[in-house]
Amino acid sequence: MTYETHQTEDARLVRHRLMQPDMEVEIWNYGGIINDVRVKDRSGKMESVVLGFDTLAAYKEHSPYFGAIVGRVAGRIGQARFSIAEQTYHLAANDGTNHLHGGTHGFDQVFFDVIEATEQLLHLRTLSPDGCEGYPGDVTVDVIYRLNGTALTLSIEATTDQTTPLNVTNHTYWNLSGNLQRDILDHQLTLPSSTYLPLGSDLLPTGEFRAVDGTVLDFRTGRSIRSGAESESEETVNAGNGYDHPFVLDEGRAQLMDPVSGRTLQMTTNQPVVVLYTGTQLLTDYTVRGVPSRPSLGLCLEAQVHPNAVNESRFPSILIEQGATYQWETTYRFGINNVN
């Protein structure tokens, strides 16, 4: 199946559908958005399991990064600035005094060029020019989506002609209930992480590493999202009565399950951290495919390096030098849990 350009919205917009017998994925070249993922529940019903819009206008007006590639740097950069070799770079401050998800015109708002498109693959590319949002260097970004059975692999490579920070992620909001029938509070998450990064009131990591033992951030043997969102824990209250926390992975994987539909999502990644965001800041002044938007309607599993790493010496470096290749890869594999 070839891709189509929908002239009614924007001549640059391409919507491409990847097809397999038990899974369908629709990707847009605008923001590299995973606009829709359809998989079967335990009864064989094929339904959507992501939050998304039907029109480009809705994404531009309302989207909290639904399905998008975000960068150059995912998460927050404190005070919207960083330094390289004693030179300070000032970024767009689009989250109070901080820089968030690449700024006011990050990758989530770029029309990527389509390099190749088939029923199982989509290859997108963009050039982020020197000075974009305040970042140094021309950066070429290649994004490849591959669908194999019920596994969607997303690979991102980038090169630069100047030393610059790179730390991208995919910001899909998952809801395995099917067509947004329920919120995600009763989803069960298993996350092999013994350490998380505490957050300050500005949702920036404090620079500490803290053990999950005895907290509602211990997902090592599985727990419901509700168990933390409805707790009086200081950690989750500060994040808006839910989760917006970076977890340092002991193993590069996570698993999400909806007990009612039986759908499971296993994520594997080459990144060291997953930020669990349970949609605590979703607004209520729009609808998502006919369903009123609200907190906890979807959750994100954002694979990346530690947020604000460019300003925190205790975190791994995210600086990519000229001649080096940045590599990010994550696979989302769907299955069924037949125990009801």
| Residues annotated as catalytic (active site), given as ranges | 171, 302
Residues 6+ away with beta carbon under 8 Å from 318:
73, 165, 166, 167, 305, 309, 310
**Calpha distance 35→27 (Å, rounded):** 5
Whole-Å CA distances, 232 to 84, 236, 266: 41, 7, 29
Q: Other CB atoms closer than 10 Å to residue 9's CB: what's the count?
A: 14
CA dihedral 112, 115, 121, 124 (to 10 degrees): -20
> Contact 318/167 with Cβ under 8 angstroms?
yes
CA 302 to chain centre: 4
- DSSP structure class, residue 9: T
Tokens, residue 238: 């500060």
**Calpha distance 265→40 (Å, rounded):** 12
* Burial status of residue 218 (CB atoms within 10 A of its CB: 0-12, 13-18, 19 or more): middle
56 φ/ψ angles, rounded to the nearest 5 degrees: -65, -40
